[in-house]
Structure 1
Amino acid sequence: MSNLETFDVVVIGGGPAGATAATDLAKLGRSVLLLDRAGRIKPCGGAIPPQAMREFDIPESRLANRVYSARMISPSDRTVDMPIKGGYVGMVDREHFDEWLRERAAETGATRRTGTFERIERDTDGTAIVCYRLGQGRDGESGRVRARAIIGADGANSFVGKHYVPGYETVKYVSAYHEILRTPEGFDNSRCDVYYQGDISPDFYGWVFPHGDTISVGVGTAVPGFSLRAACTELSRRAGLADAEILRREGAPIPLEPLKCWDNGRDIVLAGDAAGVVAPASGEGIYYALTGGRLAGEAVEAFLATGKASALKLARKRFMKAHGKVFWVLGIMQRFWYSSDKRRERFVSLCADPDIQYLTWEAYMNKRLVKARPGAHLRIFLKDMGHLLGIVSPRS
């Protein structure tokens, strides 16, 4: 058996999922190594619902902005405003927010190292050896540590998932791209705009999300060959931001659905985008990444306490029990409503309905099923069927 430094857990990836798992496990007294690549920023609208702030102790001081409504824009340029009554959605810039999460993990007791994960080897007793390269490139000093457990939180297209978790090759992606613009004087920072227009995205949507001093303008699609950059340029023009200064550009794949298996049945479990926990239709990822990281941490703690590899399956089991039904419904919505401009037009018209607005914001803000207005569900079902069957005009 080698004489290497040993950690209870090595967390590979320091986004919201990895940093949360590292923080939670360090709080429990576990020795944790948080390994993250330098300079990696995920393209993201940056929305944080109040429930995320409550569950994960995110202070308001970490927000870059607050928005109080959303505006839906249809293919015909019809706009529908959805005000948030009695609340707001927080906005973060991932460049700063993710770094704060990593700093919190270190302050809690996790060891932080900047480097690139390379592979997993096995010691003579079967314990995993995590091999990595320090620094930003391949020329840095190599490092090796033993790990009783590993959390792969290295994002969509996860290297850990691809090489060490069975079935990972089946994951499906949306390609996302955004540009961070400097906010011009006079721009309305209180509202998020969502463009449901086929030339901006043939199967997803475009977004204009204000972060205070900056704005995230982005698009996503799973259609091969579609020019995300050209669509983003056109989206900036439509939003009146054609002359705004571009501060940075970022692109990355975003998973379309949770993976069927999150662990290797031995000592590795996935979390966050690596596990596919991005909500269909909405593309919401931060809350679900935070949640996935926490559940991965709980599963690893159970594994370390009992020695039973079956405990690693708790992460996916608990996530799907809490959110699987929502993901299933959102997946159906995305496949149906985003499939053509005609359907997108009807979808935006549905968003004008007060019942839909109430239930949408309640579910989004608090991450729970709304039971306070049972009659609203029936009314929405009837209206939705009217739109599906073409009985209701898109303008009604």
Structure 2
Amino acid sequence: MYDVVVVGGGPSGATAAEDLARAGKRVALLDRDGRIKPCGGAIPPRLIADFAIPDDLLVARITTARMISPTGRRVDIPIENGFVGMVDRADFDEFLRVRAGEAGAERKTGTFQRIERDGGGTHVVYRDKASGESTRLTTRLVIGADGARSNVARGEVPGGDTIPYVIAYHEIIAAPEAQGAYDPDRCDVIYDGRISPDFYGWVFPHGKQASVGMGTGIDGIDLKQATADLRAASGLAGCETIRREGAPIPLKPLKRWDNGRDVVLAGDAAGVVAPSSGEGIYYAMAGGRVAATAAIACLASGRAADLRLARRLFMREHKTVFHVLASMQNAYYRSDNRRERFVSLCHDIDVQKLTFEAYMNKALVRARPMAHIRIGLKNIAHLTGLVRPDYT
């Protein structure tokens, strides 16, 4: 009998499993072998500090972000007093799983099939990779951390089958030295309807490699062709392609994360990817942590209602940031004209400072109220057309 079975071994599930094991719970971590999520791989300083990420996992340290508009306008935003770390998800995720195992979590490799219940308890049924046989893990609670189209969420949590998402696709390539449009110390974010009509494209350095990709929620878009066009525009068409990956990225947190009985969701399964930016690693790990906290509370009290703590704790800290980012996406991603105005707005020094302070620390900065007022007025001016995009 396990206290908790965690389904999904990405950053969210591995974090939940480690926290539970360190709290003295008997926990199993079930993960499919070999799956790597398409991801730019950016992690902010707060993640590095909160989750004790060692320096040797950072394959690059980014000091500048470049925003590129539909007309090719470039706005470079320096990252003052720090850097954004870049990780390769293949190595990063496995490090987190190994660390969970070292803390005491029992690792299982296989594919989740379903949850069954009988007089003997709750059972997670999965197909074991080694034997090919269906195997049951009996448990008191389940944490579903199995991605944006979570089978756990779909079968157990109201609304878990209707979460909106975009499809992300990227190619990991062998990166060149600095040349032309490519800089190994800079992340490029491309807001161009020819690459993505409703999201964005990216070129993110990973040391000797780079992630080049895009996302869209519109059916019929040729993701591979859009990525090929982006590589060509960035001078990366001739670079060796190491691997190609695609997966859904959720756009909105679910209104409910638990089934009121024995299941709670975490990470992409709960929809906790930041709107506008698509940033997910930090929020996935934060989601895994609050899911573990809720599970520990439920195990101690015997009250299934304590599973609601996961969503409540997460939203208490991050709801405002998610609301602001969703408003930005709804306002600016709907057309190239709006995207042009968004990149122009990013040229503003107030926007740059507050945006990166919020990104690095994962909270809206309240220390400069006049800057917030100025940004609000500038935002209205750009959206209404009172300010024309600055192309200088």
**TM-score after normalising by structure 1:** 0.96
Pairing of 1:343-362 with structure 2 (within 5 A): 343-362=338-357
2:242 maps to 247
Q: Does 1:168 align with 2:160?
A: yes
1:319 maps to 314
Q: Does 1:132 align with 2:132?
A: no
Are the counterparts in 1 of residues 63 and 186 from structure 2 also a CA contact under 8 Å? yes
Per-residue CA deviation, residues 104-150 of structure 1 (Å, 9 max, x unaligned), is 0001110011111111111314x1011111117xx613321211000
CA distance in 1, matches of 2:147, 2:379: 35
CA distance in 2, matches of 1:223, 1:340: 13
Residue type matched to 1:264 in 2? N
Q: Does 1:49 align with 2:44?
A: yes
Deviates more, 1:110-119 or 1:178-187: 178-187
CA distance in 2, matches of 1:320, 1:72: 29
Q: Does 1:278 align with 2:270?
A: no
Per-residue CA deviation, residues 64-102 of structure 1 (Å, 9 max, x unaligned), is 111001000000001000000111000011011000000
**TM-score after normalising by structure 2:** 0.97
State the shift of 1:372 in Å.
2.1
Residue type matched to 2:125 in 1? C
State the shift of 1:189 in Å.
1.0
Q: How many residues align?
A: 388
Counterpart secondary structure, 1:41 = coil
Counterpart secondary structure, 1:170 = coil
1:102 maps to 97
Are the counterparts in 1 of residues 172 and 242 from structure 2 also a CA contact under 8 Å? yes
State the shift of 1:356 in Å.
0.5
1:3 maps to none
1:333 maps to 328
Counterpart secondary structure, 1:300 = helix
Are the counterparts in 1 of residues 201 and 214 from structure 2 also a CA contact under 8 Å? yes
2:71 maps to 76
1:65 to 60, 68, 71: 60
Q: Does 1:142 align with 2:142?
A: no
State the shift of 1:170 in Å.
2.1
Residue type matched to 1:280 in 2? P
Per-residue CA deviation, residues 346-366 of structure 1 (Å, 9 max, x unaligned), is 100111111100000100001
Pairing of 1:192-341 with structure 2 (within 5 A): 192-341=187-336
CA distance in 2, matches of 1:299, 1:218: 35
CA distance in 2, matches of 1:145, 1:346: 53
1:153 maps to 145
CA distance in 1, matches of 2:314, 2:281: 14
CA distance in 1, matches of 2:92, 2:161: 30
Residue type matched to 2:74 in 1? T
Counterpart secondary structure, 1:168 = coil
CA distance in 2, matches of 1:8, 1:33: 9
Q: Where in structure 1 are there 5+ consecutive unaligned residues? A: 1-5
Per-residue CA deviation, residues 275-312 of structure 1 (Å, 9 max, x unaligned), is 00000100000000000000000000000000000000
1:32 maps to 27
Q: Where in structure 2 are there 5+ consecutive unaligned residues? A: none
Residue type matched to 1:13 in 2? G
Deviates more, 1:360-369 or 1:186-195: 186-195
Are the counterparts in 1 of residues 321 and 363 from structure 2 also a CA contact under 8 Å? no
Are the counterparts in 1 of residues 69 and 340 from structure 2 also a CA contact under 8 Å? yes
CA distance in 1, matches of 2:161, 2:106: 31
Per-residue CA deviation, residues 29-84 of structure 1 (Å, 9 max, x unaligned), is 00010000011111100100000111111122211111001000000001000000
Pairing of 1:377-396 with structure 2 (within 5 A): 377-395=372-390
CA RMSD of aligned residues (A): 1.1
State the shift of 1:386 in Å.
1.3
Per-residue CA deviation, residues 222-247 of structure 1 (Å, 9 max, x unaligned), is 11111111100000001110001000
Counterpart secondary structure, 2:136 = strand
CA distance in 2, matches of 1:345, 1:259: 31
